């Protein structure tokens, strides 16, 4: 049983008064007057989501960034967050680094820490973030239409390659490590895509798995081409050497956005690219044949599984 | 360094745009139009907040109940919650019990599960709950005035006595265990106290420590009398046998409310008692001498420390 089946089976029940989108997208949506609240929660556990001995700065950054990335995937504007911090002991040096980094990222995205809980135990961090949206504007996973193009932001596989190297006792380059430890949540991109994208998700569990969520929720298929995937020079070299397309196709932790949009929005997307100084790449098209066709991929890749 | 100093030192920074009450009360308050949101988060860790081998039903109940208790302490009406669940492995039998119990308590208090995250690791549960309040109505820790009476709901020390017995390989009675595993969050009492109580807190870390928070935030003192504390027959017998007043004075996990109110509200409080079929006991008075005087207590008690 995977995470999604688990949620479906045990944590989906009828909430007659809940006017929104419950369990099953990047964020839950709750209607509050003419606004919507987008709410997301993510837990990071030492040894699972970051290596033992990751700096407190990088841990704090990532814990907040992954939540901001979920808000980004809905197009929401960050509002506030709470922090549940479990620590084996109080280490002031560690806390200083953690809080400075948390504050810096929070201020960068104008999101406010409103409260939290501290407990003693194995190191883990749960952040719950809330953003706002104009009603009915959210970027959902369910809006992709046949003929829409499929896009991703920036490059794919950098974080996965860093992790691949760490597991083999290799030292990743600074730029790969930065992508692994300090992924840039695409908050501005998400908000810019409101009214333009037909569906959106952040690539935290790997492109193949996350794009498949869009396909399932939208009841469509897609065809993408590995040769169209945007790659950094290091990931391109790794693939050339190893034929290991999996870092780009199914490697997690990229926190880029994957979205779909009708062809007529190509101009608008180019304007966003220029305005945000980023690269957005068309990697494929939505089809009416269910499932995800990945042209040029030999064999299978295993996307991230929560269990 | 205790939890409160830690929060003050590392997680309190100027949030210029945050129109509300940040870190430092039972819930954070956020202004949203004419309403306030009360937000709280609590983590429960196996072996710390509940014994290993506690049933999944009791774990789920407690994880949500402690958050409902924080909402109760502000007088907020429960609205929605998210769940971050960390599990060592997927055990369907366990999940079934957990989700049934969570759902039952959620439905009882009309609070909606809107989303969450599941991760693999040592068993822990973080719940983030949001409630609503009319603006400026919240029961704060900071409103106690000299001359106000100090009250507590129901009885004190039952959960602490259960824990005391468990640690000594004794088997607590069903009623003590129920108080330990299934504390009744005083949601209706909290809402009933709006406009009546001058300050309020839930007794999760022990009366002495939690009442002291009211005193600190309100810049007052208090004098209470151990002989006035409401005790169950079992706790009274335990104290008679051992002179161990600490279970009632500083034992945590009661999740009753401690509040202050001016003398003129005595009639209103008696009406609430009858309406809610509960006992509310006056245990002391707010004074202008700083600190908490506990009459009849020989020696010191150690309240719960998060670290």
**Nearest residue in A to B87, CA atom:** A307
Averaged over A71-75, what is the pLDDT? Answer: 95
Tell which residue, A11, A21, A27, has the closest CA to residue B103: A11
Distance from the A126 Cα atom to the nearest Cα atom in chain B, whole angstroms: 7
- List pLDDT tens digits, range A85-103: 999 988 889 999 999 999 9
Distance (Å, whole) CA B76 – CA B134: 9
**What domain range includes position B85?**
3-134
pLDDT on residue B17 = 42
* Mutation choice for B interface testing from A16, A117, A252 by most B CBs within 10 A: A117
Residue B252 lies in a domain: yes
- The structure's pTM equals 0.85
Q: Which ipTM score applies to this complex? A: 0.79
Q: Residue B42's closest chain A neighbor by CA?
A: A117
**Residues from chain A contacting residue B86 (CB–CB below 8 Å):** 43, 45, 124
Q: Tally C-beta pairs within 8 A across A and B.
A: 193
> At A22, is the pLDDT very low, low, confident or very high (cuts 50, 70, 90)?
low
Write out B191-257 in H/E/C secondary structure: HHCCCCCCEEEEECCCHHHHHHHHHHHHCCEEEEEHHHCCCCHHHHHHHHHHCCCHHHHCCCCCCEE
Separation in Å, CA of A45 to nearest CA in chain B = 7
Quick count: other Cβ atoms within 10 Å of Cβ A194? 17
- Give me the pLDDT at residue A234, please: 96
Asked whether residue B143 is assigned to any structural domain, the reply reads no
For residue B79, list chain A residues with Cβ-Cβ distance below 8 A: 30
Half-sphere exposure for A196 (CA within 13 Å, toward CB): 18
DSSP structural state of residue A76: P
Three-state DSSP class for B81?
strand
In this structure, is residue B190 part of a structural domain? yes
Q: Give the number of C-alpha atoms closer than 13 A to the C-alpha of residue B291, restricted to the C-beta side.
A: 4
Do A181 and A89 have their domain in common? no
Q: Find the range with the poorest average confidence among A32-36, A41-45, B147-151, B291-295.
A: A32-36
Residue A111: CA count within 13 A, CB half-sphere? 29
Average pLDDT score over residue span A246-254:
90
Mean pLDDT of A140-161: 96
Asked which of A54-63, A112-121, A243-252, B26-35 is least confident by mean pLDDT, the reply is B26-35
Q: Does residue B287 form part of some domain?
A: yes
Per-residue pLDDT at A237: 96
B234 within domain boundaries: yes
Domains: count for chain B: 2
- Domain stops at, among A134, A164, A182: A134
Q: Give buried/exposed letters for B226-253 (b at 16+ CB in 10 A, else e).
A: beebbbbebbeebbeeeebbbbbbbbbb
The confidence band for A114, taking pLDDT boundaries of 50, 70 and 90, is confident
Q: Phi first, then psi: what are they for B290, rounded to 5°?
A: -60, 150
Q: Are residues A62 and A90 in the same domain?
A: yes
Mean pLDDT of chain A: 89
CATH number of residue B178's parent domain: 3.90.650.10
By C-alpha distance, the chain A residue nearest B32 is A32
Q: What would the mean pLDDT of A69-78 be, rounded to a whole number?
A: 95
Residue B13: per-residue pLDDT: 63
Mean pLDDT of A105-112: 92
Q: Which residue among A23, A95, A110 places its CB closest to the CB of B6?
A: A95
> What per-residue confidence (pLDDT) applies to B19?
44
Are B231 and B296 in contact by the 8 Å Cβ rule? The answer is no
Note whether B182 and B259 are within 8 A (CB).
no
Average pLDDT, whole number, for chain B? 89
Lowest-confidence pick of A19-23, A118-122, A252-256, B176-180: A19-23
Q: What is the CATH number of the domain that holds A40?
A: 3.30.1330.10
Q: Which chain B residues have a beta carbon less than 8 Å from that of A126?
A: 41, 43, 84, 117, 126, 128
Which residue reads 């919507």 in tokens? A36
Please tell me the distance from the alpha carbon of residue B265 to that of residue B243, in angstroms, as a whole number: 34
The nearest alpha carbon in chain B to A107 belongs to B15
Residue B80 in any domain: the answer is: yes
The DSSP symbol for A25 reads S
Q: What was the pLDDT predicted at A27?
A: 77
Low-confidence ranges of chain B (pLDDT < 50): 16-20
**B53 Cβ partners below 8 Å, 6+ apart?**
none
Q: Which residues of A touch B80 (CB under 8 A)?
A: 18, 28, 30, 39
Domain final residue, candidates A100, A134, A168: A134
Residue A306 lies in a domain: no
The pLDDT score that the predictor gives to residue B283 is 98
pLDDT at A13: 63
Tens of pLDDT, residue by residue over B212-256, are 999 999 999 999 999 999 999 999 999 999 988 999 999 988 899
Q: Which residues of A touch B96 (CB under 8 A)?
A: 10
Each residue of A210-219: pLDDT tens digit? 999 999 999 9
Two tokens at A206?
A: 């790997």
One domain, residues A176 and A281: yes
Reported as a single tens digit per residue, the pLDDT across B161-198 is 998 998 899 999 999 998 888 889 999 999 999 999 99
Residue at token pair 């609590």: B42
């Amino acid at each position: 049983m995977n995470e999604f089946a688990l949620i479906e089976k045990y944590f989906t029940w009828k909430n007659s008064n809940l006017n929104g989108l419950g369990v099953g997208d990047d964020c839950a949506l709750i209607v509050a007057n003419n606004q919507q609240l987008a709410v997301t929660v993510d837990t990071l556990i030492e040894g699972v989501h970051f290596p033992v001995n990751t700096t407190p700065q990088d841990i704090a950054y990532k814990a907040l960034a992954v939540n901001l990335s979920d808000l980004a995937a809905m197009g929401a504007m960050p509002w506030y967050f709470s922090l549940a911090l479990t620590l084996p002991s109080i280490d002031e040096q560690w806390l200083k680094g953690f809080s400075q980094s948390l504050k810096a990222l929070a201020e960068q995205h104008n999101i406010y820490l409103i409260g939290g809980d501290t407990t003693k135990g194995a190191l883990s961090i749960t952040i719950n973030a809330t953003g706002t949206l104009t009603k009915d504007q959210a970027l959902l996973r369910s809006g992709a239409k046949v003929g829409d193009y499929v896009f991703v932001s920036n490059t794919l596989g950098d974080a996965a390659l860093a992790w691949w190297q760490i597991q083999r006792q290799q030292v990743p380059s600074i730029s790969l490590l930065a992508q692994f430890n300090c992924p840039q949540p695409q908050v501005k991109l998400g908000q810019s895509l409101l009214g333009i994208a037909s569906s959106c998700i952040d690539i935290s569990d790997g492109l193949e798995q996350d794009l498949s969520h869009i396909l399932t929720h939208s009841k469509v298929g897609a065809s993408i081409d590995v040769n169209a995937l945007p790659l950094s020079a290091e990931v391109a070299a790794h693939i050339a050497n190893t034929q290991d397309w999996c870092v780009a196709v199914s490697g997690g932790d990229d926190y880029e956005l994957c979205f779909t949009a009708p062809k007529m929005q190509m101009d608008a997307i180019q304007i966003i690219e220029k305005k945000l100084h980023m690269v957005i790449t068309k990697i494929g098209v939505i089809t009416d044949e269910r499932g995800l066709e990945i042209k040029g991929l030999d064999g299978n890749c295993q996307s991230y599984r929560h269990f």
